[in-house]
Amino acid sequence: MSLVGIDLGGTKLAAVRIREGEIVARARIPNTSEPDGLVDCARAGIESVWDVDVAAVGVGVAGLVSWPEGVFA
């Protein structure tokens, strides 16, 4: 079983896949501050480290997030 972690920052997204406490895949993807671009960036990050045995994905975002309003601050 693997876990995926996403760090969604202001200028980049960092993604890792961890299995048994070891990082087995990682990616860094430049992002945009546009809401649609952030979603695409998150999807690309997850897909870049994905494997069939992923059990969960965690996402860290600095600041406030309001999905209904589309706010990432």
Q: What domains sit in the chain, N to C, each tagged with a CATH number?
A: 2-72 (3.30.420.40)
**Residue-level pLDDT at 5:** 96
In the sheet with 2-8, reading across from the earlier edge strand, the strands are: 22-30, 12-19, 2-8, 54-61
pTM recorded for the entire structure: 0.77
**Residue-level pLDDT at 70:** 67
**Residue-level pLDDT at 69:** 74
Cα distances (angstroms) measured from residue 19 to each of 23, 38, 41: 7, 26, 23
Where residue 70 falls (left for φ over 0; alpha for ψ -120 to 50; beta otherwise) is left
Cα–Cα distance measured from residue 45 to residue 50, given in angstroms and rounded to the nearest whole number: 9
How confident is the prediction along the chain (73 residues), in pLDDT tens digits per residue?
A: 999 999 988 788 999 999 999 999 999 998 876 767 778 888 889 999 999 999 999 988 877 777 677 666 6
- Where does 3-57 have alpha helices with state H? 35-49
